[in-house]
């Protein structure tokens, strides 16, 4: 059974974004790049919590200082958060979410084309599964 990934907090997402953009960072480098003014030990604690949550890893085997890197890809986190949103807000149904986005948002032609393509692919998978 696959272990459920914890939902990252806003602070987690700030750090994960830095790690995704930079590959790996030391505590000092992360502190220097952090989008808000926070203490060095705050950054250290937050990075270690990311490791404890299984969202990042700490590489200390090769050289000092230890370097932190994200374990997950951005799309993995996005997918988990979107799944959670659909479960919480629409009780698992994507129709209200899609209807809201289509009716409340100005979509570009490119976005409409992409949505149509996604729907066609979903129909193909559904037909293939029905056989």
Question: Across the chain, what does the average pLDDT equal?
Answer: 88
Q: What is the band of 131 on the pLDDT scale with cuts at 50, 70, 90?
A: low
Q: What is the pLDDT of residues 39-96, one digit of tens each?
A: 999 999 999 999 999 999 998 776 788 999 999 899 988 888 888 888 999 898 989 9
- State how far the Cα of 120 lies from the Cα of 16, in Å rounded to an integer: 33
Tracing tokens 């066609």 back to the chain, one arrives at: 120
Domain coordinates of the chain in residue numbers? Answer: 10-70, 74-130
Indicate whether 2 pLDDT > 60.
Answer: no
- State how far the Cα of 34 lies from the Cα of 32, in Å rounded to an integer: 6
Could you tell me which CATH number the domain at 10-70 has? 1.10.10.10
Cβ neighbours of residue 3 closer than 8 Å, sequence gap 6 or more? 54
Cβ neighbours of residue 86 closer than 8 Å, sequence gap 6 or more? 92, 93, 94, 97
**Residue 69 belongs to what H/E stretch?**
strand 67-70
């Amino acid at each position: 059974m696959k272990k459920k990934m914890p939902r990252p907090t806003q602070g987690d997402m700030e750090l994960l974004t830095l790690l995704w953009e930079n590959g790996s960072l030391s505590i000092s480098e992360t502190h220097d790049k952090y989008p808000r003014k926070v203490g060095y030990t705050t950054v250290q604690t937050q990075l270690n919590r990311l490791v404890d949550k299984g969202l990042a890893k700490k590489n200390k085997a090769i050289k000092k200082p230890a370097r932190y890197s994200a374990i997950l890809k951005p799309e993995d986190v996005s997918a988990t958060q979107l799944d959670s949103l659909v479960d919480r807000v629409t009780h698992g149904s994507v129709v209200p979410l899609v209807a809201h986005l289509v009716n409340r948002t100005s979509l570009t032609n490119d976005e409409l084309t992409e949505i149509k393509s996604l729907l066609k692919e979903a129909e193909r998978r559904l037909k293939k599964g029905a056989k």
